[in-house]
Amino acid sequence: MDIINILPDSVANQIAAGEVVDRPASAVKELLENALDAGASKIQLIVKDAGRTLIQVIDNGCGMSDSDARLCFERHATSKIHKADDLFAIHTMGFRGEALASIAAIAQVELKTRQHDNELGTQINIEGCDIKSQESCSCPAGTSLAIKNLFFNVPARRNFLKKDSVELSHIEEIFKRVALINYHTDYTFHSNGRVLYDLHGGNFAERISQIFGHSYRERLYPVEENTDIVKIHGYVSKPEFVRKSRGEQYLFVNHRFIKHPALSAAVEKAYAELIPDRHYPSYFLHLEVDPSRIDINIHPTKTEVKFIDEHALFAILRAATKKALGQFSLATELEFNPINEVDFAPAPSGYIPQQPTVNYNPDYNPFQSTAPKAAPSGHAHSSSYGNQPKNSQWTSFFDLKKESDAETTPAPSPTQLTLDQLSTPQSAPASPCMQVKNQFIVSVMPSGLLIVDQHAAHERIIYERLCNRHQCANAQQLLFPVNCQFSPADADIFNELLPDLKQYGFEIGSIGQTTFVVTATPPDISDSELQQIFDQMLVEYKSAMIQKFADRHQCLCRSIARHTAVKVGTVLQQAEMQQLVADLFCCQMPSMSPSGQKTMTIVQPENLLN
């Protein structure tokens, strides 16, 4: 006996509808995306009862012909792809041709559409896949699609809908995702006759502040990066505006909102030592990627995306965010031109790197008074902090120094001055420092009054030195070696950490199972507190490893920095204060301590008496 049936279209569409439209918000998404694909510059969204009774989208896009208006409700009816190859070059939001078919299977739909060249449009009424009527009508150019009584024939789904307030907030979220990244378009959004949003086309920053409020403008830093693999444009929160919950986190790829835990982690990782634990940044980031390098087809609602270059993307996104945070925290406070010279593009496959050659001038005689012609080699000056400028800039920088040595003193450009200020500690503010309450260092800078928190600043300095593993070169031998002792379990862990500690500048040997002898430390670290520093470090290391919030290296450096930084209450000498300020300005991220505390602020003269 034969038992296999081919399901009628109406049933097949209802089943498919379950995937595409599971709640009113997903129908809203499909309609908004269709309007954008139709090239609309104005889109109206109208909902009643959180979309249960009505979802209507009216656009001024290209509209449809009479026959397309009928065809669009067929399954796999799409104007967006023609052949399988097109799947690898998708620039539209839709392409599967199932949304309207699915929606028509589970609602009463009224479509009015007119192409701009036609005088008359078409109106179609369709209900549960049955076309009830089709006739000519006069209507504005573009398309209006109204979905009435969603799930009228699928009571199970209807009963699963949540309270109106919940469904409306889902719709609102979808609306925000679409409107945020398609910021050139005008939108209005009415719910039960009330205007919720009235947005005018503008740029990304304007759209963010239209949706989330004007205060966002002051809360965000721009992120901008252009590589062969990805173009990144967007905004991330300043570290001081992070929140305890994941708030506004919007990641878009090719104008499409996506969820991608790994890429989100890349952004969050850039904040690792800038913000307190379990705090989260907001971000609005748009990545533009060659469509053939992504697969958006893996989920029907298309918020998940697979990238071919995921690892590279991760690294680029993290570096770009970090760069924005580092550069702008300094830039806004010190008002210097950021150096946009980081080239993140990984080498193409098959590229064989060449060993760099060192240019030097064999005829160079440092005692000659005339400046030599060839550029000196880069090793004459090594800056461990800040973005390394490109060769040409180094060259001109050195030329500048040489010339000034030869007493011709040309006027340096602002970038060169900044480089000079930032890479040599001696050039930090020469103005005297004052200590306030044995906690703050106050000094005068060209841009205002500088106030530095001595502990937080020192923590930042030590942290970066440890991270950059500079200390190994200048470990300081102790006059009297110090013994440290741990419980057997801790001693095992400590033993594992010895290679790391050695890199930071500690020299430690073991005597027996649980006792260690420290013979040298990094210069910033006082020998009297070594046992406490290591005890704390072990506690923090163990708990960090359990929570997996940081990597081992970061965690050790953070802990050591926190416990060795000069304490609040310590009296500092003039020279010490000046050195501390100078060292702080050599840091990559000078404005925050690794534990997320502000290290300094500059009060501008106009704000002094406010």
Measured from the CB atom, the residue of 113 and 521 that comes closer to ligand ADP is 113
Residue 97 touches which of Mg ion, ligand ADP, none (Cβ within 5-8 Å per kind): ligand ADP
Size of the site for Mg ion (CB under 5 A): 3
Helix, strand or coil, per DSSP, at residue 470: coil
What SS3 string covers 238-294? CHHHCECCCCCEEEEECCEEEECHHHHHHHHHHCCCCCCCCCECCEEEEEEECHHHE
**70 sits near ligand ADP (criterion: CB under 6 A):** no
Integer-rounded Cα Rg, in Å, for the chain is 31
Helix extents (H) in 468-515: 488-504
The only residue of 16, 21, 28, 38 in contact with ligand ADP, by rule CB under 6 A? 38
Report 86-105 residues binding ligand ADP (CB under 6 A): 94-101
Could you say which of 17, 45, 46, 62 contacts ligand ADP (CB under 6 A)? Answer: 62
Q: How far is CA 521 from CA 192, 516, 532, in A?
A: 69, 13, 14
Question: DSSP characters for 573-599?
Answer: -HHHHHHHHHHHHTSSSTTB-TTS-B-
Question: Is residue 143 part of the contact set for ligand ADP (CB under 6 A)?
Answer: yes
Give the residue with the Cβ less far from ligand ADP, 301 or 391.
Answer: 301
Closest C-alpha among 578, 337, 336 to residue 452: 578
Going from the C-alpha of 208 to that of each of 185, 258, 266, 323, 597, the distances in angstroms are: 13, 17, 22, 21, 27
Reported as type and span, the H/E element at residue 555 is helix 552-564
Return the residue nearest ligand ADP (CB atom): 94
Q: Is 234 left (phi over 0), alpha (psi -120 to 50) or beta?
A: left
Position 29 contacts ligand ADP (CB under 6 A) = no
Q: What are phi and psi of 257, to 5 degrees?
A: -70, 135
17 binding ligand ADP? (CB under 6 A): no
Candidate segments 28-36, 275-283, 470-478, 582-590, binder of ligand ADP by CB under 6 A: 28-36
Nearest residue (CB) to ligand ADP, 186 versus 535: 186
User: Is 433:581 a contact under the CB 8 Å cutoff?
Assistant: yes
- From the list 91-99, 288-296, 302-310, 564-572, the region that binds Mg ion by CB under 5 A is 91-99
| C-beta closer to Mg ion: residue 34 or 521 | 34
> What is the closest distance, in whole angstroms, from the C-beta atom of residue 169 to Mg ion in the complex?
23
Report the residue from 64, 168, 270, 419 that binds ligand ADP according to the rule CB under 6 A. 64
**How many residues at the interface with ligand ADP, by CB under 6 A?**
24
Question: Of the candidates 13, 34, 56, 471, which one interacts with Mg ion according to CB under 5 A?
Answer: 34
Pick one of ligand ADP, Mg ion, none as the site partner of residue 64 (Cβ within 5 to 8 A by kind).
ligand ADP
Distance of CA 310 to the CA centre of its chain: 15
Nearer to Mg ion, 99 or 168 (CB): 99
Q: Which residues pair with 170 in a beta bridge?
A: none
Counted residue by residue, the chain has a size of: 610
Alpha-helical runs (H) found in 151-190: 155-160, 164-181
Distance CA 607, CA 593 (A): 25
Q: Residue 173 CB, nearest distance to Mg ion (Å)?
A: 19
Minimum CB–partner distance for residue 55 and ligand ADP (Å) = 13
Q: Which tokens go with 449?
A: 């009054």
- Residue 77's binding partner among Mg ion, ligand ADP, none (Cβ under 5 to 8 angstroms by kind) is ligand ADP
425 binds ligand ADP (CB under 6 A): no
Q: Quick one: which segment of 28-36, 165-173, 370-378, 452-460 binds Mg ion (CB under 5 A)?
A: 28-36
Under the binding rule (CB under 5 A), the answer on residue 99 touching Mg ion is yes
Which CB, 59 or 464, lies closer to ligand ADP? 59
Q: With binding defined as CB under 6 A, does residue 77 bind ligand ADP?
A: yes
CB contact set of 273 (below 8 Å; sequence gap of 6+)? 463, 554, 558, 589, 592, 594, 595, 596
Q: Can you tell me whether residue 476 is helix, strand or coil?
A: strand
Write out the residues near Mg ion by the rule CB under 5 A.
34, 94, 99
Which residues form the interface with ligand ADP (CB under 6 A)? 30, 34-35, 37-38, 59, 61-64, 72, 77-80, 94-101, 143
